[in-house]
Amino acid sequence: MMPFVDNNVVRRSPLFAALDDEAAAALQAMMTPTRLTRGEVLFHEGSAATRSTSSSTAR
């Protein structure tokens, strides 16, 4: 089962725009959607990375 990650979010990101379909699909398969409430901290500047993050705004 593929996690729900909007393909358009990945494709619009300059960081991932050059990926071919296979690479984009592999990247999306590793992504996990995360919901934060207003004021909740996703990460702190200077903290060691434990995962990659990308954000989108719901409309």
Domain count, the chain: 1
Query: Residues 52, 23: contact at Cβ < 8 Å?
Result: no
Q: At 36, is the pLDDT very low, low, confident or very high (cuts 50, 70, 90)?
A: confident
Task: State pLDDT tens for residues 2-27.
Answer: 456 677 777 888 988 899 989 988 88
pTM above 0.85, yes or no: no
Q: Containing H/E element for 39?
A: none
Q: Domain range for residue 24?
A: 1-59
CA distance to 8, 23, 28, 38, 43, per residue, from 35 (Å) = 18, 25, 17, 10, 13
Q: Is 12 helix (H, G, I), strand (E, B) or coil?
A: helix
Q: What is the mean pLDDT of the chain?
A: 77
CA distance to 1, 13, 50, per residue, from 57 (Å) = 24, 13, 22
Give the percent of the chain with pLDDT over 90: 10
